[in-house]
Amino acid sequence: MCAMRPEPGHEQGAGHPGWKAVLTPEEIRRALSRVAHEILERTHGGEGIVLLGIPTRGVPLARRLAARIAEFEGTSAPYGSLDVTMHRDDLRLRPARALQRTEVPSGGVDGKTVVLVDDVLFSGRTIRAALDALNDLGRPRAVQLAVLVDRGHRELPIRADYVGKNLPTAYREVVRVLLEETDGEDSVLLGERDR
Amino acid sequence: MTGSPMPAGRHRHLISAADLSRDEAVLILDTAAELASVAGRPIRKLPTLRGMTVVNLFFEDSTRTRTSFEAAAKRLSADVINFSARGSSVAKGESLKDTALTLEAMGADAVVVRHSASGAAHRLAGWVTGSVVNAGDGTHEHPTQALLDAFTMRQRLGAPDQRGGGLDGVRVTIVGDVLHSRVARSNVLLLATLGAEVTLVAPPTLMPYAVETWPCKASYDFDAELRKSDVVMMLRVQQERMTAAYFPSIREYSRRYGLDAGRMALLPEHAIVMHPGPMNRGVEIAAEVADSPRSTIVAQVSNGVIVRMAVLYLLLGGAAAAA
């Protein structure tokens, strides 16, 4: 389950009344730089990696990580997006959802180290669906997971390889990730459900 | 119409192209555009409708549409039961309602129905709890054909990123036996919803009654319409539905309303030629036109599978289907 989409009432202005900012734009920038360095370290200079963002906000995060990897190492990291809608386990619980885009870099995923990128790691069910979706695309050499925020409450045996910030939360709380590309600003907010 | 499996809508069934709002139609086309990428993969199957049953209930002969729906349902991992009227209990005199109740008892989540009677799909929707998809009812409608035609038009004429877009300003000329054509009717309704400008061209005897109430124009001058068309869609002369002599001879019909190479040359540079199939080469369309690069006839068939996948996913993939 990804972060909740911003509600119209909270969108305008710099302030988000009732929400606590847990990451500032600078902290997001530093966290992503660190994650990019960790990816380079763990994959021996980013050899054979493919970054696949999970829509919606995993996609710009994958793009940013690819840009940083290019900046730090001078190598280009192919990136794309992986829609998991058709593989979700909760399809029958909600109305049918519009599909998001799946774009795999031209080199494909066979034999590559795929780094899945998402904004918030929560139950782990989205990642489970992503692993299934990936399985239909090919056979990567290894699959890793990078998330901006790990908020706990896993329902499946899944963990992240790279975490921007570990954020202990109560189950009833809601984590919202806002990104420049999708929301016009960079911020991670924590609030209560049912506001 | 009840239930709301479609995010932008309220549909449990797809009976008529007129039931779709612009947003709903665009959602189907966008979903199909994403599903198109699946067709190019080594594993062309998605687990989405696993455990669901789709019944193809065909009271009229059809190869293209039935196999297209079958392929679509199977690519979404649904189980498919093919039920054709020939050699079945229908031949022994069973009514549509009893057949429907039998299928219902077998646990059909969706029934894809083709019937020679206009309105059959609508009646069926009142008898079964599953979704009903109209795959052609008499001379009434064939909405998935219109959707795949619209998808093909958007693919061939639209901007590179077509997501969210309709067919605004696209000039479509539909030519031939409009009177007996459910494809024409569904296309007029859907294309008008998507913003296209549709013109029907037919001999006066094959122009539907009260065509002036349809959201399109009507003309008898084929050559004049060709010069200002982005799309020309040729229809088959449906002799099996004709109970009277609508034109003097096939040869005369072909001369006045058939698309040959000479007429194709009148079309603008970018224009495409469509045909819902099956074609009668040499009657409404010349072989050299059907096989030309402008013809989208083969693309229409492959697009048919992905558009029907999109429809089945949007009708069955969500919550209301389980309820």
Question: Looking at CA atoms only, how far is residue A139 from chain B in angstroms?
Answer: 11
Q: Which of A101, A136, A137 sits opposite B34 (nearest CB)?
A: A101
Fold (topology level) of B17-141+302-322: Rossmann fold (3.40.50)
Domain extent at residue A37: 21-89+100-169
pLDDT at residue B87, as a whole number: 64
B101-157, pLDDT tens digit by residue? 888 888 899 999 999 999 999 999 999 999 999 999 999 999 999 999 999 999 999
- What is the token pair recorded at A143? 């699959």
In 3D, which of B188, B215, B220 has the Cα closest to residue B204? B220
Residue B197's DSSP bridge partners are B171
Q: Which of B42, B45, B319 sits opposite A95 (nearest CB)?
A: B319
Residue A149 lies in a domain: yes
Q: Which of B2, B41, B86, B92 is catalytic?
A: B92
pLDDT at residue A92, as a whole number: 84
Q: Does the annotation count B115 as an active-site position?
A: no
Q: Which of B75, B142, B180, B185 is catalytic?
A: B142
Mean pLDDT of A147-160: 97
The CATH class given to the B143-297 domain equals alpha beta
Q: Which of B35, B41, B314 sits opposite A96 (nearest CB)?
A: B314
Higher pLDDT: A151 or B4? It is: A151
Q: Does the annotation count B114 as an active-site position?
A: yes
The phi and psi torsions of B90 (rounded to 5 degrees) equal -60, -40
Contact B172, B149 (CB under 8 A): no
Half-sphere exposure of A134 (CA within 13 A, CB side): 29
- Specify whether the backbone of B196 is left (phi greater than 0), alpha (psi in -120 to 50) or beta: beta
Q: Does the annotation count B92 as an active-site position?
A: yes
Question: Which CATH number goes with the domain that contains A40?
Answer: 3.40.50.2020
What is the value of pTM for the model shown? Answer: 0.90
Residues in A touching B318 (Cβ below 8 Å):
91-92, 94-97
CA-based nearest residue in chain B for residue A92: B319
Question: Does residue B322 sit at the A interface (CB-CB below 8 Å)?
Answer: yes
Question: Does residue B161 sit at the A interface (CB-CB below 8 Å)?
Answer: no
A52-103, pLDDT tens digit by residue? 999 999 999 999 999 999 999 988 899 999 999 999 998 888 888 889 999 9
Residue A187 lies in a domain: no
- What is the token pair recorded at B302? 């492959």
Domain map of chain B by residue range?
A: 17-141+302-322, 143-297
Q: Which of A87, A137, A138 sits opposite B47 (nearest CB)?
A: A87
Question: Does residue B37 sit at the A interface (CB-CB below 8 Å)?
Answer: yes
The three-state secondary structure class of B129 is coil
- What is the token pair recorded at A35? 């994650």
Question: Does residue B32 sit at the A interface (CB-CB below 8 Å)?
Answer: no
Question: Does residue A142 sit at the B interface (CB-CB below 8 Å)?
Answer: no
Q: Does the annotation count B65 as an active-site position?
A: yes
CATH topology match: B17-141+302-322 vs B143-297: yes
Does B43 sit within 8 Å of A136, measured CB to CB?
Answer: yes
CA-based nearest residue in chain A for residue B6: A96
The burial class, CB within 10 Å (0-12 / 13-18 / 19+), for A67 is middle
Give the pLDDT band of residue B192 (cuts 50, 70, 90): very high
In 3D, which of A137, A69, A135 has the Cα closest to residue A102? A137
Residue A113 lies in a domain: yes
- What is the token pair recorded at B283? 């009657």
Question: Does residue A172 sit at the B interface (CB-CB below 8 Å)?
Answer: no
In which residue are the tokens 């990078």 written? A146
A150: pLDDT strictly greater than 70: yes
> What whole-number distance in Å separates Cα of residue A129 and Cα of residue A126?
5
Helix (H) or strand (E) holding B172: strand B171-175
A12: pLDDT strictly greater than 50: no
B160-173, pLDDT tens digit by residue? 677 888 999 999 99
Contact B222, B257 (CB under 8 A): yes
Question: Looking at CA atoms only, how far is residue B195 from chain A in angstroms?
Answer: 22
B264-305, pLDDT tens digit by residue? 999 999 999 999 989 999 999 999 999 999 999 999 999 999
Residue A184 lies in a domain: no
Q: Which of A91, A97, A102 sits opposite B37 (nearest CB)?
A: A102
Which of A56, A89, A92 has the most B C-beta neighbours within 10 Å, making it the best mutation to test the interface with B? A92
The three-state secondary structure class of B289 is helix
Does A93 sit within 8 Å of B319, measured CB to CB?
Answer: yes
Give the pLDDT band of residue B240 (cuts 50, 70, 90): confident
pLDDT at residue A194, as a whole number: 67
When divided into structural domains, chain A yields a total of 1
Give the pLDDT band of residue B10 (cuts 50, 70, 90): low
- What is the token pair recorded at A30? 């530093």
Q: Does the annotation count B122 as an active-site position?
A: no
Of the listed ranges A71-75, B16-20, B67-71, the one predicted with least confidence: A71-75
> What whole-number distance in Å separates Cα of residue A37 and Cα of residue A143?
17
Q: Which of B114, B154, B182, B308 is catalytic?
A: B114
ipTM of this complex: 0.83
Question: Does residue A90 sit at the B interface (CB-CB below 8 Å)?
Answer: no
